[in-house]
Structure 1
Amino acid sequence: MPHVTATKAMPVPASKAWEFVSNWGGTDKWIPGVGPVVVEGSGIGSLRSADLAPETGFPGRISERLETFDLHKMSFSYCVVGDNPIPITNYLARMSVKAISKDSCEVTWESTWDTELDEAELVVAFNGLYNLALDNVEQLMLSENQ
């Protein structure tokens, strides 16, 4: 089972980064190739779905379910449900925010999954996506401060 972890230190308070990445319906603002997000329900068990753009290499609708949400530990996890345009199964991801100082933090996005394709290629693809998305999170939060 492949495992990918992307971590980025950011010059913003942990509470601000947490507010940003834990917005269950806001991923289209910072994950490249993700269309508008539709959320059904609230809290653990809620679903979000979005269309992946053709340039992602996996066009189609993806749906995810919120599995855990811990406000105090600033972490949540989710899984992919239903039909999935990405050739993976058993996808489980976790995002977390950890304070480094009062004005800086570390954001981590990690996942595991199964696939019948070349695992190494998907590891590279997910790693690239996660790092680009975390760069986008940082840029968006810093631009809000200006």
Structure 2
Amino acid sequence: MKKFLLSMMAFVTILSFNACSDSNANQDPNLVAKESNEVAMKDFGKTVPVGIEKEDGKFKISFMVTAQPYEIADSKENTGYISMIRQAVENETPVHVFLKANTNKIAKVEKATDDASVTSNLYLIKKREVKAIKQSVLFLIWQR
């Protein structure tokens, strides 16, 4: 009886290994790579970049919503993304950013929708109001 159970366990184990190796062999490698790339990206959201600096062959970008700097490699594939970020810094307009999962590296940049532009414009109005209030307070302090 013990030999029978032992042989059945060995048979089931060999069948399991065989089934697993067969299922991996039938998968399309291009399909698997596409899925892993999409899963590897995290949506950072629509935000306004406030600074971009080149350092050691990569660009460090700072965004309005966080103090952490984010990086993008200086490569031919990223030249469009880098120019889009530079333009957004100059115009103070939002961009839609995607990060590589669990890193601070930028994987993709897209133009933001009109809703994000409205939010950005409201931010700029508030920023100008705060600046005007600070200037008036400083002026009042200076007059004393």
Give the TM-score normalised by the residue count of structure 1. 0.28
Say which one has the larger Rg: 2
Q: Which has the higher helix share?
A: 2
Highest RCO, 1 vs 2 (Cα 8 Å, sep ≥ 6)? 1
Give the TM-score normalised by the residue count of structure 2. 0.28
